[in-house]
Structure 1
Amino acid sequence: MAKAFASAGDLTEKKISFTEVGEGLYAFTAEGDPNSGVIIGDDSVMIVEAQATPRLANKVIECVRSVTDKPISHVVLTHYHAVRVLGASAFGANQIIMSDAARSMVMERGQEDWDSEFQRFPRLFEGHESIPGLTYPTTTFSDSMTVFLGSRRVDIKQIGRAHTAGDSVVWVPDQQTMFTGDIVEYHSACYCGDGHYEEWGATLDAVKSYDPQSIAPGRGDALVGREMVDAAIANTRDFVDSTYNAVKPVAARGGSLKDAWDAVREACDPKFADYAIYEHCLPFNVARAYDEARGIAHPRIWTAQLDLDMWEALQG
């Protein structure tokens, strides 16, 4: 029996958690839906990840208002994906920050990604009529930048490619806390359709080199304490490596995309089948792994029609 396309069949509202991951630092999570982060400074607030729509962004704002009345001055977007950025207008921030690479991806494929994700995640895009258009940054950086929220220092850095070519992390040194975007997940499938498998492990090593005491990951529960942080990094590494290592020998012998699909299912289903959005991600993950293993360095631009074609070929 064919599976419902992507997350089209997931219409259940998720329970929101708002977890303190450090003094004045919070993770907004929702059972495997995209997370957001909150950094409270002396006079204002920074948001990390803007959600898919202003409707969802307002749920983040409600949580912020439960702990502070300080104005929201900055929004940091760790990468370009529609479910992370299209709610940005709701925050009324003075600055919207992205890496140069992430902005270039908005320019190259932002509309295609919006159309694609709208089709993949209908529940997340309820209230989409209020999205004013593609989200562009007001401020970009090429390697790293520092924002001071009063005396609180926040470092925004590119430490390697992983989930996309434009990934950034947000590091709050006074609490040794990192907001990683989708570089790190917790009991949620990694979406690798725009990823860089060969580099992801080194980027995870770079995350670990900061010795974070807490992490707000891209999806899944907030990670508080070194033990939970280390487990999530190791688990993310295992997910990415298990997928790519299953595909490489198939590509090397000239096997088909369907052969790669079968190899990944055999390797990954026993370990990850119960993870959030696992079935959703799998066709895109296998397709990207198959491309990269055959030397295609630049991830394809996923369109709404290409999504459907890929799903029918592999999950149909």
Structure 2
Amino acid sequence: MREAEPVVRVEGAYEVAPDLLVIPDRRVQLVPNVGLIGGEEAVLVVETGMGPENAAEVLRFAAEYARGRRLYLTTTHFHPEHAFGARVFAGAATYLANRAQAEDQKVKGPGYLEMFREFGPLVARHLDGVELTAPDVVYDHSYDLDLGGRVVRLRPTGRAHSKGDQVVTVPDAGVMFTGDLVEARQFAIFPWFPPHDTDVSGLRWLVVLERLADERPGIVVPGHGEVGGPGLLADVRDYLRLLRDETWARRDSAMGEETIAEEVHAVMLARHPEWEGREWIEKGVRCLCAEHGAGHA
């Protein structure tokens, strides 16, 4: 991705279904796709953007869009560009999240805050003043949020991109927000940072993508990249499957991990030369090397 300040630009918001907006990431690194899902009585915001400044802009835009309707907030997982602006919404919106995500933020949030501050001055500036905050409502297995004439389903997926991934679906509109379980035209982001964080699971992630693909949503809003159809789910599923197979075939032959990473990197670039995020291929390989022989359960 090109170097740019990680700023959410609300003026780019557009409607993907009736009373359902996406503020696009514009393919800027560390900017997520942000959603606004409206019902007769309330509006749900999906993702905060990174840090107080972005979150304040999202909140301002959401309040104007809501026109007096109650506000809710949810985040697809705890990573900084998705959830590290939640404190700004305190008192203005009710923050809902699954228990595993809330635990991720509590345990790993401070470490990720420090790690992301090292990504450069543009990122560090947006993390100034971040206060990690617990959700107002924490659920375990599922949560159906009634916005008034529209029910939004919040569902944890179990361990995949992180331990606390959550998918947000709007059944009446056929829309699914996936967070970083899915990216468009980008190699899957594997936050494989041993020994600090090794909770990402390529095998579980593949199982989750297969299940989500079976739901056949009409519109898929990825964590990063352009909004698309169910083909986005298939693209990531097929990539993870190929990444696993190419990695494990070499692991079975007792090839060294460095060589595996180099060879698989070349295979993936040949398959998807137009995709961004090439740095994540090696981390995916190393994750899958660690999971070698573990099976699909």
Number of equivalenced pairs: 283
In the superposition, relative to structure 1, how do residues 244 and 115 fare at CA in structure 2: closer, same or farther (>3 Å)? farther
Q: Which residue of 1 aligns with 2:19?
A: 24
1:197 counterpart (198, 202, 206): 202
> Which of 196, 207, 216 matches 2:221?
216
**Conserved in 2, the CA contact under 8 Å of 1:10 and 1:123?**
no
Contact 1:52 1:87 in 2 (8 A): yes
Equivalent residues in 2 for 1:47-86 (5 A)?
47-61=45-59, 63-64=61-62, 67-70=65-68, 73-86=71-84
- The list of structure 1 runs, each at least 4 consecutive aligned residues, that deviate by more than 6 angstroms after superposition, is none
For 1:280 and 1:14, locate their aligned partners in 2 and report how far apart those are by CA, in whole Å: 22
- Answer yes or no: is 1:170 the counterpart of 2:168: yes
Task: Give unmatched runs, 5+ long, in structure 2.
Answer: 192-198
Q: TM-score, normalised by structure 2?
A: 0.84
Q: Distance in 2 between matches of 1:18 and 1:43?
A: 21
CA distance in 2, matches of 1:257, 1:147: 45
Alpha-carbon deviations, 1:228-287, whole Å to 9, x = none?
Answer: x122112111322232222212333333321221122121112334323x1342343232
| Inter-partner Cα distance in structure 2 for 1:146 and 1:69 | 23
Q: Provide structure 1 residue ranges, at least 5 long, that are not aligned to the other structure.
A: 1-6, 224-228, 298-316
- Over the matched positions of the two proteins, sequence identity in percent amounts to 22
Q: Aligned AA for 1:49?
A: E
**Alignment RMSD, CA only?**
2.7
Structure 1's 15 and 167: CA in aligned 2 closer, same or farther, altered over 3 A? closer
Letter of the 2:97 partner, please give it. M
Amino acid at match of 1:24: D
Say which SS state the counterpart of residue 175 (structure 1) adopts: coil
Q: Tell me, yes or no, if the aligned pair for 2:50 and 2:126 is still in contact at 8 Å.
A: no
Task: State the partner residue of 1:261.
Answer: 261
TM-score by length of 1: 0.79
Letter of the 2:251 partner, please give it. Answer: A
Q: Which amino acid aligns with 1:129?
A: D
1:233 aligns with 233
User: Distance in 2 between the 1:72 and 1:122 partners?
Assistant: 36
Q: How far apart are residue 180 of structure 1 and its match?
A: 1.2
Contact 2:174–2:219 under 8 Å retained in 1: yes
Question: What secondary structure sits across from 2:278 in the alignment?
Answer: helix
Q: Give 1:169 deviation, angstroms.
A: 0.8
Supply the distance in 1 between the matched residues of 2:61 and 2:260 (Cα, whole angstroms).
43
Give the distance between the partners of 1:10 and 1:294, measured in 2 at CA.
38
Cα 1:13–1:117 change in 2 (3 A) is: closer
Q: 1:150 to 1:168 in 2, by over 3 A?
A: same
Judging changes above 3 Å, is the alpha-carbon distance between structure 1 residues 244 and 116 closer, same or farther for their aligned structure 2 residues?
Answer: farther
